Copies of this chain bind each other. A is one copy, B any other.
């Protein structure tokens, strides 16, 4: 589905989506045409999902990041479905994963400050249907945070 050259292109684009096609070609020793074709093909196939702008949290006023472990009262299909649907609507929730282990969901939440977190917690999160328990872990330092999925060996 993706060969070695595709992976090289993906590695570059994941770091910087603004690289020009010629620049990419220069780095992997290829002319514009095949680079262009490969990118278009991977966009059509959905391997390349989209191009986004990343912002600096610190410059936006040192936002508060919180991880929440959520346990539902019932581990049924409908219960999960309800929660999934509700959580997708909350802009403060940047990530939500259903996990194996001692709780059901792990959420990554971003808010402006503790006051906003309290409001989010009380008024938007804990009121969701089927929740039994929530544990919050506050991020003190962001050591690493990349969008780069390793594609090369």
Give Cα distance in the complex from A65 to B95, angstroms: 13
The 8 closest A-B pairs by CB, nearest first: A13-B53, A96-B143, A96-B144, A98-B141, A91-B150, A17-B51, A99-B137, A101-B137
Chain B contacts of A14 at CB under 8 A?
A: 52-55
Residues of B within 8 A of A140 (CB): 97-100
- CA separation between A20 and B127, bound complex, in Å? 40
Q: Which residues of B contact A65 (CB under 8 A)?
A: 97
Instruction: Check: A48 CB closer than 8 A to any chain B CB.
Output: yes
Known: A99-B67, A144-B95. A150 touches B110 (CB 8 A): yes
A143-B98, A149-B94, A150-B91 known; A48 vs B55 contact (CB < 8 Å): yes
Contact A48 B57 (CB under 8 A): no
Residue of B nearest to A47 (CB): B59
Asked whether, in the complex, the Cβ of A18 is within 8 Å of the Cβ of B51, the reply is yes
- What are 11 contact pairs spanning A and B, CB under 8 A? A14-B54, A17-B53, A51-B52, A52-B54, A60-B149, A67-B97, A67-B99, A88-B144, A96-B145, A101-B138, A106-B137
